[in-house]
Amino acid sequence: MTDLDLLHFEQLKKDVQAQYLKEYTPSYDEISKWKGIDIIYFQEDLRKKAKGNISEKSFYTYFKSSPVSKLPRIDMLNLLSIYAGYDSWYDFKKKHLFAGELLSDEKDLSDEELKELEKTVSSALNLPKTESEPKKMEFNSEENTVLQNNNIENQQIEKKQPISEIAERSEIKPLKKNHQRTAWIVATLVFVTLLGLLGFKDEIFQKTYVYCFTDADRNLNVQRDIEIKVIKENESPILYRIKPGECFRYPTKDKTLKMLISSTVYEDLEVNRNLENAPENETIELKPDDYKMALYYFSIKDINGENSEQLIKQKRKQLENLISNMATITQVYDSDIYGLETLDKQDYITLVTTPTTSLKNLNVIEMKKDKGKIVSIKFKISNHENNK
């Protein structure tokens, strides 16, 4: 990467902005000021025209600040170049050369690709080891004869020497050594046995409790993701995520259990159990939350088709009645630069009534209501750069 590459990227951002402004009217013309729904519309147009996507985190990293200090990955550069009307990042740079700039014909590689290439080259070279092997001792014929004679004499001496003298000289007492060895074996077996008992103590005394979940209105298994927080005294909560239709299995040797259960479409529920007399298998009913259910339904409902305009009007009207005019609505981002953004009621309604791919990933993190109206919504739209 060179300083010229960073300048080229600033040029590319302007071309991307110009391309988007040909068909759309965002809140601000300048791309660095786009937020919320503007970013979602841009992501949708990018998927449509360039067959790819960039996450909100990448958008805030590379478009919210100028100039940037590092380049995006080569796949993102190619994607943005295609959106702006070029064949690739290389093609874009080629058509925007600075005075005196020489552009290499080699393919642009990311840092990760360069490291992988370096490993491949090193492996292909298969360089010999530099460490020298031990040299073999070489003797002439006379030296070999002397060594052989010495070995023969040593063997003869060892054969003639009595075993008692060898034992006395070495201070070895075979019988005593065998007793010590037996004692060590017995001690080791006892130690291993005790260690095993200590290691399996928890498994011996713990039980596994199984909790399944049903819809209180429909008497069917819950077909939504469930989050369970197990609360222990003087400890941080432990979070478990249960997939649709699955039961929660919790092994423990504790005498009590406290759980906070939440879901996208059910009321939050706190469960407290005395495990000394509690059943090991239990079914817990979750009561549907009409407000959560409505928001979830509005987020995923397909309103494309012949009657889409009428459905959008119906959807907006229902949300107008559900949400308070003074509601606090917050969008959470996966970004080190920009974490939260506040929307007013109308911006939020426009966001969830506009048919975009992003709405399929909308997740209501938290919602509060008061006197029949929603007064607080915290939500997140999960995006992945490989989504198409």
Q: What is the pLDDT of residues 184-205, one digit of tens each?
A: 677 777 666 665 655 555 555 6
- Helix runs in 107-247, H state only: 111-125, 141-160, 163-170, 174-199, 201-205
Q: Return the structure tokens found at 88.
A: 């690739």
For the chain, first and last CA: distance in Å? 28
What's residue 146's pLDDT?
Answer: 46
Per-residue pLDDT for 127 more than 60?
Answer: no
Per-residue pLDDT for 138 more than 50?
Answer: no
Per-residue pLDDT for 369 more than 80?
Answer: yes
Summarize pLDDT for 249-298 with one digit per residue, the tens: 999 989 999 999 988 778 889 999 999 888 999 999 998 876 667 666 66
**Whole-prediction pTM value?**
0.43
Which region among 178-187, 194-203, 222-231 has the lowest average model confidence (pLDDT)?
194-203
Which region among 126-135, 218-227, 235-244 has the lowest average model confidence (pLDDT)?
126-135
Per-residue pLDDT for 39 more than 70?
Answer: yes
Q: Beta partners for 367?
A: 377
Q: Return the structure tokens found at 30.
A: 């300048």
* pLDDT above 90: percentage of residues in the chain: 24
What's residue 305's pLDDT?
Answer: 53
Strands 226-231 and 256-263, bridge-based pairing: antiparallel
Cα 253 to Cα 205, 274, 276: the distances in Å are: 6, 12, 10
Which region among 45-59, 83-97, 343-357 has the lowest average model confidence (pLDDT)?
343-357
Per-residue pLDDT for 331 more than 90?
Answer: no
- CA 68 to chain CA mean position, Å: 26
Helix (H, G, I), strand (E, B) or coil at 221: strand
Q: Return the structure tokens found at 211.
A: 């909790």
- Rounded to whole angstroms, the Cα distance separating 292 from 366 reads 9
Closest to 264 measured CA to CA, from 313, 228, 231, 224: 224
What's residue 139's pLDDT?
Answer: 45
Summarize pLDDT for 42-84 with one digit per residue, the tens: 988 998 899 888 888 888 889 987 788 889 999 999 999 999 9
Are 254 and 262 in contact by the 8 Å Cβ rule? The answer is no
- Rounded to whole angstroms, the Cα distance separating 129 from 106 reads 33
Q: Return the structure tokens found at 178.
A: 């065998």
What's residue 384's pLDDT?
Answer: 52
**What average pLDDT does the chain have?**
76
Look at the chain and count its residues.
388
Burial class (CB within 10 angstroms; exposed 0-12, middle 13-18, buried 19+) of 125: exposed
